[in-house]
Amino acid sequence: MPDHLHVYAGTAGHSAWFSEDGGRQWVHPNSHSGMYLEARVWSFASHPSEPETLWAGTDMGLFKWHEPTARWASVALPSPNPSDVWVVAVHPADPKILWIGTRPAGCMVSQDGGNTWRSFSVPGLQSFSTINMGATRVTQIAFDPLDPQAVWITVEIGGIFFSPDGGTTWQARDQGLVSCDVHGIALVDVPQPATSASATQRLMYATTNRGLHVSTDRGEHWSFVKLDSPWQYTRSIVQRADHTGVMFLTNGNGPPGDDGKLLISTDHGQHWQPVDLPGRINSTVWTVATHPSNPQQLFTCTNLGQVFESTDGGHHWQRLHHEFGELRALHWRPLPSGIRQQAHSITQRPLP
């Protein structure tokens, strides 16, 4: 059966939206779908081997979507129950290994698909910041593609932490950061010439409210990278899913701001150029959604709801018709037609 391109948009106040036709039409699951209609959705995650399941991190906890029945189910978490789940990440090697990052900043892992959970104690991880007089929050969880036990977390107003052993021990990795208000991270392995002693060089990138940083020693030290942009605020840094050296960096004049840029690199992040997003950009460009099933298919969005699509790997973009309010998460995946939603009666009328 042919696959259908499903896109998911997480909003800050109008829950999750779904498109079964690549973003042309959107539906908003109603109150019978299991998630509060005005929830704030911060993160999505899925695994190709489990197409029936989608995970969402929200301000009301963790939710699991079952595609055939079109229902959200709230996932029970251990006490003290973190009501605000900012990040959900599925381990690429095993769909049963699920990590979440919370606000106030903390981490939990499940080894059995969300049935049971273990909390981590991360030395130096602060739950409250005097800088913004509020709770810190985990903004990204990244797994090392070369080591299934190695994991990184970034914390907004809290820095970067690394665990070499699946969360048992942790190390702070923030030396050299201009700001510890960290939004995202990317681990990039650059192929080296055959004459080199190593097959790859590991580069690491971190985005902050004050700019992009790079590390050449696995996060031990960071250096600021000045962008050729009117603003240094950076949000997401994303490798295209084919790992051919193409990367994307989202940039703008603050959260939400009123202008932004999408930057592209074709050499593993060593040089950046702006990409033309059609029309006037209404806020900071926020995130980029990519999938290994088709690396040429990409989506990006602004913080205030504009959505764009590329079908040529990110070199050219078109603006989609529907515009949301505030967006915080964007995700896409192909779904076999046999498990497309059967319970459309629970959704509202599709919006053009």
- Mean pLDDT over 58-69 rounds to 92
Tens digit of each residue's pLDDT (9 = 90 or more) over 153-198: 999 999 999 999 999 999 999 999 999 999 999 999 999 887 777 8
Residue 59 sits in a domain whose CATH number is 2.120.10.30
**Is residue 136 included in any domain, yes or no?**
yes
Please report the pLDDT score of residue 133 as a whole number: 83
**Is residue 246 included in any domain, yes or no?**
no
**Is residue 114 included in any domain, yes or no?**
yes
Domain with 339, as residue range(s), is 3-221+300-346
**Is residue 149 included in any domain, yes or no?**
yes
Please report the pLDDT score of residue 340 as a whole number: 55
Mean pLDDT estimate for the chain? 92
* pLDDT > 90: percent of the chain: 83
Higher pLDDT, 223 or 352: 223
Tens digit of each residue's pLDDT (9 = 90 or more) over 27-40: 988 778 899 999 99
Higher pLDDT, 127 or 42: 42
106 vs 119: CA distance, rounded Å: 8
Tell me how far CA of residue 43 lies from CA of 108, 118, 173, 314, in angstroms: 15, 20, 24, 22
- Mean pLDDT over 57-67 rounds to 95
Q: What is the DSSP-derived secondary structure letter of residue 350?
A: P
Q: Is the dihedral of CA 53, 57, 63, 65 positive or negative?
A: negative
**Is residue 129 included in any domain, yes or no?**
yes
176 vs 29: CA distance, rounded Å: 45
Please report the pLDDT score of residue 267 as a whole number: 97
Please report the pLDDT score of residue 345 as a whole number: 40
| Closest CA relative to residue 222, chosen from 234, 235, 212, 209 | 212
Q: What is the DSSP string of 166-215?
A: TTSS-EE--TT-S-S-EEEEEEEEEE--TTSSSSEEEEEEEEETTEEEEE
| pLDDT above 70 (res 1) | no
Tens digit of each residue's pLDDT (9 = 90 or more) over 200-226: 899 999 999 999 999 999 999 999 999
For tokens 């599709």, what's the residue?
350
| pLDDT above 50 (res 80) | yes
Domain count, the chain: 1
- Mean pLDDT over 87-94 rounds to 96
**Is residue 257 included in any domain, yes or no?**
no
**Is residue 251 included in any domain, yes or no?**
no
- Mean pLDDT over 59-76 rounds to 92
Bridge partners of residue 215, in order along the sequence:
204
CB-based contact 96:112 (threshold 8 Å): yes
Please report the pLDDT score of residue 32 as a whole number: 80
**Is residue 103 included in any domain, yes or no?**
yes
| pLDDT above 50 (res 342) | no
